[in-house]
Amino acid sequence: CISRSLTCNGHADCEDASDETDCRRRPCPTGSFPCGAHCISGMFICDGIQHCADGSDEARCQVEDGEECPGNGFKCNDGTCVPEHSFCNSIFDCSDGSDEPEQSCKREY
């Protein structure tokens, strides 16, 4: 058995991942943010600490020149932060496309 708080959190805690099956996403109340199948308080968004397993609470946060993105995030040329796994994933997550530079993201087919 695992704690109910560990179910549907975007991370498989059971060996068979049964704690992440049949998770239904419900709308989050005003002032909160979807984090997997759960909601977190809006005060946790862009606070420099990754609360969601996928890093979505720290994605699309602006940082000042010379600052790094929290949690190993990728910093777009416009200062926006996106999750590290957004770099070279064939999806333009940065509005300027800087997460998909042709030279760095060459694909072998």
Domain span holding position 16: 4-86
pLDDT in tens, 58-108: 877 888 888 887 767 788 998 888 877 788 989 898 889 999 999 888 765
Residue at 56 is within a domain? yes
pLDDT in tens, 10-61: 678 888 888 878 776 667 888 888 887 778 888 888 877 888 888 888 877 8
d(CA 53, CA 88): 20
Domain count, the chain: 1
Residue at 78 is within a domain? yes
At 71, is the secondary structure helix, strand, or coil? helix
At 40, is the secondary structure helix, strand, or coil? strand
Residue at 46 is within a domain? yes
The owner of tokens 């998770």 is: 23
